[in-house]
Structure 1
Amino acid sequence: MKKILLSLMIALLLAPGLVKANPTQGGDFVAGKNTFLLNGKPFILRAGELHYSRIPKPYWEHRIQMCKAMGMNTICIYLFWNYHEQQPGVYDFSGDKDVAEFVRLIQKNGMYCILRPGPYVCAEWEMGGLPWWLLKKKDLKVRTLADSYFVERTKLFLNEAGKQLAKYQIQNGGPIIMVQVENEYGVWGNDAAYMSIIRDGIRAAGFDKVQLFRCDWSSNFDRYNVPGVASTLNFGAGSNIDNQFKKFKELNPDAPLMCSEYWTGWFDHWGSPHETRSISSFIGSLKDMMDKKVSFSLYMAHGGTSFGHWAGSNSPSFAPTTSSYDYNAPIDESGHATDKFYAVRDLLKNYLQEGETLTDVPAYPEKTIEIPAVKFIQTASLFDNLPVAKKSEDIQPMEFFDQGWGSILYRTTIPASAKIRKLTISDVHDWATIFVNGKIVGKLDRRLGDREVEIPATASPARLDILVEAMGRINYSEAIIDRKGITKKVELSEGNNTTELKGWSVYNFPVDYAFQQNKKYKPAPAKGPAWYKATFTLNKTGNTYFDMSKWGKGMVWLNGRNLGRFWKIGPTQTLFVPACWLKKGVNEIIVLDVDKPSATTIAGLNHPILDKTAQDESLLHRKKGQNLDLTGVKPVNTGSLPAGNGWKAITFDQMQNGRYLCFEALNAQDANDPVTSIAEFELIGEDGKAISSQLWRVLYADSEEVTTVNNSADKIFDLQESVIWQTQTTSSKTKHPHQVVIDLGENVNVKGFRILPRGDKSNVGVVKDYRVYLSKAPFKF
Structure 2
Amino acid sequence: MKKQLIGLLFLVLSASYFQPAVAQQEQDAPFKIGTASFLLNGKPYVIRCGELHFARIPKAYWRQRLKMVKAVGLNTVCAYLFWNFHETTPGKFNWEGQADAAEFCKIAQEEGLYVILRPGPYSCAEWEFGGFPWWLLQKKDLKLRTQDPYYMDRSRQYLKEVGRVLSSLQITHGGPILMVQVENEYGSYGTDKDYLLKLRDYLKEANFNVPFFTCDGVVQLKNDVQKDLFAVVNFGSNPEAGFKALREVQPEGPLMCGEYYPGWFDSWGNAHHTGSSDRMVKELDWMLEQKASFSIYMIHGGTSFGLWAGANCQPYLPETSSYDYDAPISENGSANPKFYALRDMLKKHLQPGEHLPDVPAGIPVQKIAAFNLTSVAPVLSQLGKPVLSDTTLYMEDLGQGYGMMAYETTLPAGAKSTLDFTEVHDYAEVYLDQKLIGVLNRMKNEHSISLPALSKNTRLRVLVEAMGRVNYGDYMHDRKGLQGEVYRISNIGKLQLRGWKHYSIPLGEGNPAFKYQPVATAGKLNEPAFYKGSFNAKNNNDFYLDMRWFKKGVVWINGHCLGRYWNIGPTQTMYVPGVWLNAGKNEVVVLDLHRPLAPRLQGLEKPILDSLTELKAISSNHRKAGQQFGNNAGSLIYSGTMENSAKWQNFNFPLKSGRYIAIEALNNFAEDAYTSIAELELLDENGKQIPRNLWKVIYVDSEELKSQDGKSENVFDLQYTSIWHSQWKDNSPKHPHQIVIDLGAQINISGIKVLPRQDMETGRIKDFRLYLTNKPFKGL
Q: Is there any run of 5+ residues in structure 1 with no aligned partner, and where?
A: 1-25
The whole-number CA distance in structure 2 between the counterparts of 1:358 and 1:251 is 36
Distance 1:157 1:103, change over 3 A: same
Deviation at 1:685, TM superposition (A): 1.9
Amino acid in the other structure paired with 1:41: K
Deviation at 1:732, TM superposition (A): 5.7
Distance 1:733 1:534, change over 3 A: closer
Pairing 1:667–2:664 present: no
The whole-number CA distance in structure 2 between the counterparts of 1:247 and 1:539 is 55
> Which residue of structure 1 lines up, in the alignment, with residue 388 of structure 2?
391
List aligned pairs for 1:344-743, cutoff 5 A.
344-364=342-362, 366-417=363-414, 419-523=415-519, 524-525=522-523, 526-617=525-616, 619=619, 620-652=621-653, 654-670=654-670, 672-730=671-729, 733-743=732-742
The whole-number CA distance in structure 2 between the counterparts of 1:46 and 1:716 is 33
> Which residue of structure 2 lines up, in the alignment, with residue 262 of structure 1?
260
Q: Which moved more, 1:631-640 or 1:197-206?
A: 631-640
Q: Assess if the C-alpha contact under 8 Å between 2:632 and 2:777 holds in 1.
A: no
Amino acid in the other structure paired with 2:104: F
- Classify the secondary structure of the residue corresponding to 2:562: strand
> Which residue of structure 2 lines up, in the alignment, with residue 13 of structure 1?
none
Distance 1:680 1:187, change over 3 A: same
For residues 200-252 of structure 1, the C-alpha deviation after alignment (integer angstroms, 9 at most, x for no partner) is 11111111x2011100011110123344311001111xx12211222322332
Q: Assess if the C-alpha contact under 8 Å between 2:272 and 2:570 holds in 1.
A: yes
The whole-number CA distance in structure 1 between the counterparts of 2:308 and 2:442 is 19
- Classify the secondary structure of the residue corresponding to 2:350: coil
Which of 308, 311, 319 pairs up with 1:310?
Answer: 308
Distance 1:322 1:731, change over 3 A: closer
Q: Assess if the C-alpha contact under 8 Å between 1:491 and 1:501 holds in 2.
A: yes
Q: Assess if the C-alpha contact under 8 Å between 1:385 and 1:520 holds in 2.
A: no
- Classify the secondary structure of the residue corresponding to 1:562: strand
Q: Assess if the C-alpha contact under 8 Å between 2:635 and 2:773 holds in 1.
A: no
The whole-number CA distance in structure 2 between the counterparts of 1:513 and 1:141 is 29
For residues 333-365 of structure 1, the C-alpha deviation after alignment (integer angstroms, 9 at most, x for no partner) is 11000000001100000000123211111123x
Q: Assess if the C-alpha contact under 8 Å between 1:27 and 1:173 holds in 2.
A: no
Deviation at 1:48, TM superposition (A): 0.9
Q: Assess if the C-alpha contact under 8 Å between 2:419 and 2:488 holds in 1.
A: yes
The whole-number CA distance in structure 2 between the counterparts of 1:125 and 1:733 is 36
The whole-number CA distance in structure 2 between the counterparts of 1:217 and 1:514 is 38
The whole-number CA distance in structure 1 between the counterparts of 2:273 and 2:405 is 31
Amino acid in the other structure paired with 2:330: D
Amino acid in the other structure paired with 1:627: Q
Q: Which moved more, 1:124-133 or 1:769-778?
A: 769-778
Amino acid in the other structure paired with 1:215: C
The whole-number CA distance in structure 2 between the counterparts of 1:719 and 1:203 is 32
Amino acid in the other structure paired with 1:578: P
Q: Assess if the C-alpha contact under 8 Å between 1:315 and 1:694 holds in 2.
A: no
The whole-number CA distance in structure 1 between the counterparts of 2:626 and 2:318 is 29
Q: Which moved more, 1:288-297 or 1:605-614?
A: 288-297
- Classify the secondary structure of the residue corresponding to 2:540: coil
The whole-number CA distance in structure 1 between the counterparts of 2:735 and 2:233 is 35
The whole-number CA distance in structure 1 between the counterparts of 2:586 and 2:89 is 30
- Classify the secondary structure of the residue corresponding to 1:772: strand
Deviation at 1:596, TM superposition (A): 2.5
Distance 1:474 1:732, change over 3 A: closer
Deviation at 1:39, TM superposition (A): 1.5
- Classify the secondary structure of the residue corresponding to 1:128: helix
Amino acid in the other structure paired with 1:189: G
Amino acid in the other structure paired with 1:772: L
> Which residue of structure 1 lines up, in the alignment, with residue 748 of structure 2?
749
Deviation at 1:691, TM superposition (A): 1.7
Q: Assess if the C-alpha contact under 8 Å between 1:128 and 1:475 holds in 2.
A: yes
List aligned pairs for 1:71-86, cutoff 5 A.
71-86=73-88
The whole-number CA distance in structure 2 between the counterparts of 1:211 and 1:201 is 14
The whole-number CA distance in structure 2 between the counterparts of 1:630 and 1:130 is 49
- Classify the secondary structure of the residue corresponding to 1:709: coil
Q: Assess if the C-alpha contact under 8 Å between 1:516 and 1:531 holds in 2.
A: no
> Which residue of structure 2 lines up, in the alignment, with residue 336 of structure 1?
334
Distance 1:275 1:353, change over 3 A: same
> Which residue of structure 2 lines up, in the alignment, with residue 221 of structure 1?
221
For residues 473-503 of structure 1, the C-alpha deviation after alignment (integer angstroms, 9 at most, x for no partner) is 0000010110111121211111141111010
Q: Is there any run of 5+ residues in structure 2 with no aligned partner, and where?
A: 1-27
Deviation at 1:461, TM superposition (A): 0.1
- Classify the secondary structure of the residue corresponding to 1:751: strand
Q: Which moved more, 1:587-596 or 1:153-162?
A: 587-596
- Classify the secondary structure of the residue corresponding to 1:331: coil
The whole-number CA distance in structure 2 between the counterparts of 1:682 and 1:595 is 39
Deviation at 1:541, TM superposition (A): 2.1
Amino acid in the other structure paired with 2:45: F
Question: What is the TM-score normalised by the length of structure 1?
Answer: 0.94
Which of 37, 51, 58 pairs up with 2:39?
Answer: 37
Q: Assess if the C-alpha contact under 8 Å between 2:214 and 2:225 holds in 1.
A: no
Q: Assess if the C-alpha contact under 8 Å between 2:30 and 2:171 holds in 1.
A: yes
Distance 1:346 1:517, change over 3 A: farther
The whole-number CA distance in structure 1 between the counterparts of 2:359 and 2:516 is 49
The whole-number CA distance in structure 2 between the counterparts of 1:636 and 1:140 is 41
The whole-number CA distance in structure 2 between the counterparts of 1:30 and 1:746 is 53
Distance 1:520 1:643, change over 3 A: closer
For residues 700-745 of structure 1, the C-alpha deviation after alignment (integer angstroms, 9 at most, x for no partner) is 1111122111111111222222221111235665211111111222
Q: Assess if the C-alpha contact under 8 Å between 2:124 and 2:472 holds in 1.
A: yes
Deviation at 1:322, TM superposition (A): 0.2
The whole-number CA distance in structure 1 between the counterparts of 2:171 and 2:212 is 13
> Which residue of structure 1 lines up, in the alignment, with residue 197 of structure 2?
196
Amino acid in the other structure paired with 1:94: E
Q: Assess if the C-alpha contact under 8 Å between 2:666 and 2:767 holds in 1.
A: yes
The whole-number CA distance in structure 2 between the counterparts of 1:291 and 1:118 is 32
The whole-number CA distance in structure 1 between the counterparts of 2:508 and 2:635 is 57
Pairing 1:230–2:230 present: yes
> Which residue of structure 2 lines up, in the alignment, with residue 19 of structure 1?
none
Deviation at 1:642, TM superposition (A): 2.8
Amino acid in the other structure paired with 1:71: G
Amino acid in the other structure paired with 1:499: L
The whole-number CA distance in structure 2 between the counterparts of 1:315 and 1:177 is 34
Q: Which moved more, 1:211-220 or 1:739-748?
A: 739-748
How many residue pairs are counted as aligned between the two chains? 747
The whole-number CA distance in structure 2 between the counterparts of 1:576 and 1:617 is 26
The whole-number CA distance in structure 1 between the counterparts of 2:498 and 2:240 is 60
Percent identity, aligned pairs only, is 45
Deviation at 1:516, TM superposition (A): 4.4
Amino acid in the other structure paired with 1:547: D
List aligned pairs for 1:14-93, cutoff 5 A.
28-93=30-95
The whole-number CA distance in structure 2 between the counterparts of 1:180 and 1:355 is 29
The whole-number CA distance in structure 1 between the counterparts of 2:542 and 2:628 is 50
Amino acid in the other structure paired with 1:95: G
Which of 754, 772, 775 pairs up with 1:774?
Answer: 772
- Classify the secondary structure of the residue corresponding to 2:105: helix
- Classify the secondary structure of the residue corresponding to 1:411: strand
